[in-house]
Structure 1
Amino acid sequence: MKSKSTKRIENKKKKMAALIEISRLNEYDRNLKKTQISEANGSNCSELEPSVKKPRTEAPIGDSIDQKVCVPELGPSGKPKLSGLELQELKKMLREKTTKMRQQPVFKLRDVGINASLATDLENRVPLFLADLQHLIMYSQLGHHSPYSPARWCALEKFNRLATTCVLVVENMTLYHYMAHGNMFPFVSSTFEHKLEILAPNSSNSDVVRELSMVPLTGTQVKKFCTQYGTLEEAVHKSSEVFDTVRSLFPIEKDKEGKNQLYPDLPPTDRFPRTQLLLSGWQMVEENFPLPIKGLMENKYAGYVLTKDRYEDVTPHSKMFGIDCEMCKTTIGDLELTRVSVVDEDLNTFYDTLVKPENRITDYLTRFSGITYKMMKNITTRLQDVQEDLRRILPADAILVGQSLGNDLHALKMMHPYVIDTSVIYNITGDRVRKTKLKTLTEEFLSERIQEGKGGHCSTEDSMASLKLAQLKLTKSLYFGDAVMGNLHSEIRTCPELGTYNYATSMLKQTTKVDKTAVVVGLNEITSKYKYCVDKELKVQQQNEKIKYFSEKNCKEVVKKMCDSMGMFSLNIGHVKLQEGQLEGTKVFKNVDKWVKEIYENISTPGLVIVLFSGVERSNGCCFIQLKRDV
């Protein structure tokens, strides 16, 4: 075997030989360059076509160069190297192309949007709200001036470079139709990069037009309308711009008698409708309430049940029930329900029971829960028993009241549409994120002391305190006890800084406030709905010149009119509605794909194209989003 020293010497020899070879090659290059320069000076070659050295492989070291041929110099890529005017023109063209590309708008999904994508597994998919789509539409028109941003689920960069935004709504078409007949939508499937699941608005007491057109009031608008009309309730009566809206994800039967939504005959103890204290769908999302959303029901909320199969419209006369739960830690390392208490408006105990967890208790958390081993020794009631009891005894329009009520509903594994959360309606910190404890609120506003005993909390006492706080607020004003919206103990409202989800205004009016214009093309009944959502009682002299409406006889005419008028408006909404009989065959799916193609080909660039299949009750919809950019 060779020794290490011998190997080192051989390696050094190889390196020296390589260095000598490199030196010979460099010398050859220098001689070649000198020869080419001298020949070029004495030849007829153009200055713009300098001779270029040949590849080293073509001439061995030591050979003389006798050829006097002017060949283009090759760059590192092997292509001819440009110089002079050609090089300047190329650089100019590249600069223009780069600048143009940088100015193009960009659309991309964030994590929430990716979770809603059809590319995500069904078990892990969480659909978006139609309000999410509304926020994107408004942002495409107003950018940072939009009252609501779509940043929760997507990003739209350089919105101001968009020439137009086009929205096609196909009502009654569902996600199932698209997934089951995917081969009937070749253009949609191949052209649209982003395909997302959308929660169907018609699965609740709402419709597509209202969900798409109604925008919750901002704080500035609340201040404006309250200053002008005194209260928002008066603004609803006297202004064509303010709408009273109750939105929910739950199956609510419409009021058959068609009563006035404002219900002027309030209970004698209430100074304003208790419905105004209800959390909206968006607030319930923000406060982590369990919601019957497809995707979450099968995964995160598996085993959860609704408090009723069907609900009635909530009114100012709907009964309130204070509710509180206590939990203990079990072998799964999590908290499980061990007690639930419900009190009625007369502060009587409506329901109170101890609950045996599915798993063995490892920590009773007595100093917080008040639960002891002795209390739980002979308990046989299970969570399913409690769920059945509450489903049976709670009214279909019951309003549940509690402190951080979302936690209690998670413990019960139940979902309810009408909730008042005292941690939301009362705020003494001036910061919405910082919540105040129930004990502190009770001392501050009720002058009562709770949770004083060493034996832990009492769920009956806590549920009663929450209900008293809600009742107190109803005797004062909507802004009482809220440092953000007004003075803590004053009934006089100061300037509110936040808006409200209970009242809304028109999206079309929002998007056309500055230099934007909008057009709505649809069937007659649909166009009328959009008109109503702009002005409740539209008169000729009140018509907004920036918003145009066109009514057509059928879906095909809607698409044709939309294509003809698209270049004149910054926001284009086309709305067609398919009847149940039309969805029985496959021809309609091909027609929808054809309509989308026609609209896409006629839109100005760069343009944002959104196609919405609205879905139907208990069957979600989907949307397709694509930025058509300049080629």
Structure 2
Amino acid sequence: MKSKSTKRIENKKKKMAALIEISRLNEYDRNLKKTQISEANGSNSSELEPSVKKPRTEAPIGDTVEQKTLLPELGPSGKPKLSGLELQELKKMLREKTTKMRQQPVFKLRDMGTNASLSTDLENRVPLFLSDLQHLIMYSQLGHHAPYSPARWCALEKFNKLSTTCLLVVENMTVNHYTTHENIFPFVSSTFEHKLEILAPNSSNSDVVRELSMVPLTATQVKKFSTKFGTLEDAVHRTTEVFDSVRSLFPIEKDKESKNGLSMDLPFTDRFPRTQLLLSGWQMVEENFPLPIKGLMETKYAGYVLTKDRYEDVTPFSKMFGIDCEMCKTTIGDLELTRVSVVDEHLNTFYDTLVKPDNRITDYLTRFSGITYKMMRNITTRLKDVQDDLRRLLPADAILVGQSLGNDLHALKMMHPYVIDTSVIFNITGDRSRKTKLKTLTEEFLSEKIQEGQGGHCSTEDSLASLKLAQLKLRKSLYFGDAVMGNVHNEIRTCPELGTYNYATSMLKQTTKLDKTALVVCPEEITSKYKYCVDKGAEVRQQNEKIKFFSEKSCKEVVRKMCDSLGMFSLNIGHVKLQEGQLEGTKVFKNVDKWVKEIYEKMPTPGLVIVLFPGVEGSNGCCFIQLKRDV
């Protein structure tokens, strides 16, 4: 297959050859006209000229000169020199082409997107979330009016020049299906420039439609619905605008007694649900928390374990535990765990132990860790023992609280889904990227002093301080102690994502607010899910005429309907589901490649085309993205 640079050079050669041919024809026409004029003049004065004695048998010398002048003069670069009208025409053509190119939308990956690319080595690859793809789709429709931006992983320039966006979801397809049978996907492989791995939900109760269709409430929306309905729990009951949402990165079992996690009473100490302080999945990525990402579990996170094999739904009554770790430097040149302390909500010590690292300690870092040689002399507890203890002691819905908690979990080599990070929920700088020290937060908000002694930090003291700060915020308000969340303008511009991940609104409703329309085509059982994510199962009312739903019986019919309707809607979603039996052979892969080709060829330009293999539990998915431009 020819490289892009080779194709560009060949195209330039063809253009130059065409220009030379045009110049040659123009020169020939000019010379012909001159000859005709001279012959006409010659016939008028033929009487004055002597007659030719013999007919010519060979071309005159002038003809040879004329033929030479048909080839245009070449410049220093070897390209033909143009002048006059030809030069003006060429400049005009180039100006028009440049103007047209500048008006074309542009899609490109940022570093986080490149890290998720299938061309990145598996050990260094970090998959994207389905929410990342959702943010791109919304941005392609709403641009800067979208509640979330895809800027963390990609850039879409001139989104307003897009004629349409098309998403094809092929459920039960995984990244392994593509990578092991890439030759059976010739069109997808050759046409789509960007191929990215997507993190598959790790929960049996997860659902692709819900993951794509539910958009977490922004801070502004939290205020709006809380003011209008009193609480978000009440808003869930009283309006079709707000849905409850469950994160499915970890293996979380659905609570059968609480119907869809609906409204519950609060502990008498809390003014709002503590679940609103939990970090979302992508916030945990941003804060460098260890996560059970397939591929990284075998490489970067080798030896890491989950705090539980299965988790329960987190609720406003889930217990909080403050946690802090101390580390020392060892012969591997890195820090290893030497002490861990956990305190419960009653501020009692829940677990506290010194830990002997697997490698010999070279620097106790006593002025920071508080650890000394004497303390460690008779310690036999290992990291594996600590992991086993915490896995046994912590409840399945425990909420861990700490300052820069990701560092502590890395020291423990453990992963946990429900975390509150005091360095995120408290901010006195007004800049989310600038973290405030725990010592400063404790003195500012609790009027207490910690880390005062000369003997270094105490992990019990630090874990208590973190837990007290979280409890104080729960007694005050969601915006207490946070300069970023303190005024609504900063909420919108600086950090809209810090609303709540536990409540959501409809993506389809959001994307059709600004004179946009949406089409959803899928089998009937999947269509009902998309409808639920618009109006909670109620009949789609007249004001939602912008959203059209079509149910088809087969995958072929879904694709055919998509092809027939492209260009009529600004957002087009086609969703097909392959059964396990269909995935046993390779015939279905050829069909998928054919479906993608049919849709792509029918797409108007410029258009954004996204194909999603969402993956299944235990196997990640992937997506293919291509911006189809005007030729």
Instruction: Check whether TM > 0.5.
Output: yes
1:399 Cα shift? 1.1
TM-score (norm 2): 0.84
Are positions 1:471 and 2:466 aligned together? no
Deviations 1:582-609 (A, max 9, x none): 2122222121111111111111111111
Distance 1:327 1:119, change over 3 A: same
1:617 Cα shift? 0.1
Please say which of residues 450-459 and 284-293 is displaced more in the overlay: 450-459
1:406 Cα shift? 0.9
What is the root-mean-square deviation in Å for CA atoms of aligned residues? 2.8
For residues 491 and 160 of structure 2, what CA distance do their matches in structure 1 show? 31
Deviations 1:437-493 (A, max 9, x none): 222332333333322222222211221222222223323332233333349xxxxx9
Conserved 8 A contact 2:197-2:623: yes
Secondary structure of the residue that 2:551 maps to in structure 1?
strand
Are positions 1:461 and 2:452 aligned together? no
Deviations 1:390-448 (A, max 9, x none): 11221211111111111111111111001111222222333322222222332333333
Deviations 1:271-311 (A, max 9, x none): 32222221111221121111111233233222211111111
For residues 404 and 262 of structure 1, what CA distance do their matches in structure 2 show? 31
Given candidates 41, 44, 55, the residue that maps to 2:35 is 44
Secondary structure of the residue that 1:224 maps to in structure 2?
helix
Secondary structure of the residue that 1:44 maps to in structure 2?
helix
What is residue 395 of structure 1 aligned with on the other side?
A: 395
Alignment of 1:376-415 (within 5 A): 376-415=376-415
For residues 109 and 474 of structure 1, what CA distance do their matches in structure 2 show? 39
Please say which of residues 213-222 and 396-405 is displaced more in the overlay: 213-222
For residues 41 and 300 of structure 1, what CA distance do their matches in structure 2 show? 76
Distance 1:233 1:73, change over 3 A: same
1:189 Cα shift? 1.6
Please say which of residues 409-418 and 577-586 is displaced more in the overlay: 577-586
Secondary structure of the residue that 2:520 maps to in structure 1?
strand
Are positions 1:591 and 2:586 aligned together? no
Are positions 1:435 and 2:435 aligned together? yes
Deviations 1:205-263 (A, max 9, x none): 53211221122223333343233333333322322112232314111111223435144
What is residue 18 of structure 2 aligned with on the other side?
A: none
Are positions 1:74 and 2:72 aligned together? yes
1:622 Cα shift? 0.8
Secondary structure of the residue that 1:533 maps to in structure 2?
helix
What is residue 422 of structure 1 aligned with on the other side?
A: 422
What is residue 23 of structure 2 aligned with on the other side?
A: none
Please say which of residues 117-126 and 432-441 is displaced more in the overlay: 432-441
Alignment of 1:213-362 (within 5 A): 213-362=213-362
1:537 Cα shift? 4.7
For residues 434 and 105 of structure 1, what CA distance do their matches in structure 2 show? 34
For residues 241 and 564 of structure 2, what CA distance do their matches in structure 1 show? 30
Are positions 1:616 and 2:616 aligned together? yes
1:203 Cα shift? 4.3
Distance 1:626 1:44, change over 3 A: same
Are positions 1:501 and 2:496 aligned together? no
Secondary structure of the residue that 1:150 maps to in structure 2?
coil
Deviations 1:185-220 (A, max 9, x none): 222122212211111135475321122112222333
AA of the residue aligned to 1:117: S
What is residue 553 of structure 1 aligned with on the other side?
A: 553
Distance 1:171 1:67, change over 3 A: same
Conserved 8 A contact 1:223-1:495: no
Distance 1:46 1:150, change over 3 A: farther
For residues 191 and 495 of structure 1, what CA distance do their matches in structure 2 show? 41
What is residue 582 of structure 2 aligned with on the other side?
A: 582
1:166 Cα shift? 0.7
For residues 584 and 622 of structure 2, what CA distance do their matches in structure 1 show? 19
AA of the residue aligned to 2:419: V
AA of the residue aligned to 2:70: P
Distance 1:90 1:448, change over 3 A: closer
For residues 379 and 92 of structure 2, what CA distance do their matches in structure 1 show? 83
Deviations 1:464-523 (A, max 9, x none): 222222223323332233333349xxxxx9995543132322222222221221111111
Conserved 8 A contact 2:512-2:518: yes
Alignment of 1:462-541 (within 5 A): 462-486=462-486, 498-499=495-496, 500-502=499-501, 503-541=503-541
Conserved 8 A contact 1:165-1:608: yes
Secondary structure of the residue that 1:478 maps to in structure 2?
coil
AA of the residue aligned to 1:181: H
For residues 552 and 46 of structure 1, what CA distance do their matches in structure 2 show? 73
Conserved 8 A contact 2:74-2:80: no
Please say which of residues 96-105 and 575-584 is displaced more in the overlay: 96-105
Distance 1:309 1:93, change over 3 A: same
Are positions 1:139 and 2:139 aligned together? yes
For residues 219 and 478 of structure 2, what CA distance do their matches in structure 1 show? 14
1:387 Cα shift? 1.1
What is residue 5 of structure 2 aligned with on the other side?
A: none
1:104 Cα shift? 2.3
1:80 Cα shift? 7.1
Secondary structure of the residue that 1:201 maps to in structure 2?
coil
What is residue 26 of structure 2 aligned with on the other side?
A: none
1:340 Cα shift? 0.4
Please say which of residues 221-230 and 279-288 is displaced more in the overlay: 221-230
Deviations 1:114-154 (A, max 9, x none): 22111222222221111121122122222233222222222
AA of the residue aligned to 2:371: I
Secondary structure of the residue that 1:300 maps to in structure 2?
coil
TM-score (norm 1): 0.84
Conserved 8 A contact 1:338-1:354: yes
Conserved 8 A contact 1:279-1:420: yes
For residues 343 and 46 of structure 1, what CA distance do their matches in structure 2 show? 105
AA of the residue aligned to 1:501: T
1:324 Cα shift? 0.8
Secondary structure of the residue that 2:567 maps to in structure 1?
helix
Distance 1:41 1:514, change over 3 A: closer
1:173 Cα shift? 0.6
Please say which of residues 186-195 and 203-212 is displaced more in the overlay: 203-212
Distance 1:43 1:193, change over 3 A: closer
Deviations 1:22-72 (A, max 9, x none): xxxxxxxxxxxxxxxxxx99963779xxxxxxxxxxxxxxxxx95255332
What is residue 42 of structure 2 aligned with on the other side?
A: none
AA of the residue aligned to 1:74: P
Conserved 8 A contact 2:203-2:252: no
Distance 1:67 1:330, change over 3 A: same
What is residue 37 of structure 1 aligned with on the other side?
A: none
For residues 475 and 595 of structure 1, what CA distance do their matches in structure 2 show? 55
What is residue 625 of structure 1 aligned with on the other side?
A: 625
Secondary structure of the residue that 1:247 maps to in structure 2?
coil
Distance 1:45 1:388, change over 3 A: farther
Conserved 8 A contact 1:343-1:464: yes
What is residue 158 of structure 1 aligned with on the other side?
A: 158
AA of the residue aligned to 1:266: L
Secondary structure of the residue that 2:259 maps to in structure 1?
coil
1:159 Cα shift? 2.0
Q: How many residues align?
A: 572
AA of the residue aligned to 1:101: M
AA of the residue aligned to 1:315: T
What is residue 8 of structure 1 aligned with on the other side?
A: none
Secondary structure of the residue that 1:67 maps to in structure 2?
helix
Secondary structure of the residue that 1:567 maps to in structure 2?
coil
For residues 118 and 257 of structure 2, what CA distance do their matches in structure 1 show? 41
Alignment of 1:48-63 (within 5 A): none
Deviations 1:294-336 (A, max 9, x none): 2332332222111111111112222211111111122333221
Conserved 8 A contact 2:244-2:260: no
Distance 1:449 1:273, change over 3 A: same
What is residue 22 of structure 2 aligned with on the other side?
A: none
Secondary structure of the residue that 1:308 maps to in structure 2?
coil
For residues 510 and 72 of structure 1, what CA distance do their matches in structure 2 show? 63
Distance 1:81 1:342, change over 3 A: closer
Conserved 8 A contact 2:234-2:263: no
* Structure 1: unaligned runs, 5 residues or longer: 1-39, 48-64, 488-492
